[in-house]
């Protein structure tokens, strides 16, 4: 289930980015040979998705619950193993 949630989140970041990019630059990319157009578009889209839209989608969905949070993103401390309290150690004696 976690993989499906991650895939959905990535798709929600990629789809609008590709849509906007092709709407703005689609006609200009037709001037390039097909492999060069794909190279340019993927270069730009990957940079935008990894640095802007994916973090933005992650922040938006963090407000809707824990289902879209990245592990450890909002936790204040790591959970203790076996839910045990930490052991307090006394200072060594000078005997």
pLDDT digits (tens, 9 = 90+) for 17-49: 999 999 999 889 889 999 998 999 999 999 998
* pTM of the entire predicted model: 0.58
The full length of the chain comes to 95
CA distances (Å), origin 95, targets 4, 7, 83, 92: 61, 61, 35, 9
Which range has highest mean pLDDT (31-40, 55-64, 73-82)?
31-40
């Amino acid at each position: 289930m976690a993989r499906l949630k991650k895939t959905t989140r990535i798709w929600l970041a990629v789809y609008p980015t590709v849509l906007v990019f092709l709407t703005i630059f689609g006609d200009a990319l037709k001037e390039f040979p097909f492999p060069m157009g794909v190279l340019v578009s993927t270069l730009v889209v990957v940079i935008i998705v990894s640095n802007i839209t994916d973090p933005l989608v992650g922040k938006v969905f963090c407000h809707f619950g824990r289902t879209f949070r990245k592990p450890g993103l909002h936790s204040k401390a790591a959970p203790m193993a076996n839910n045990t309290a930490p052991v307090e150690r006394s200072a060594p004696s000078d005997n």
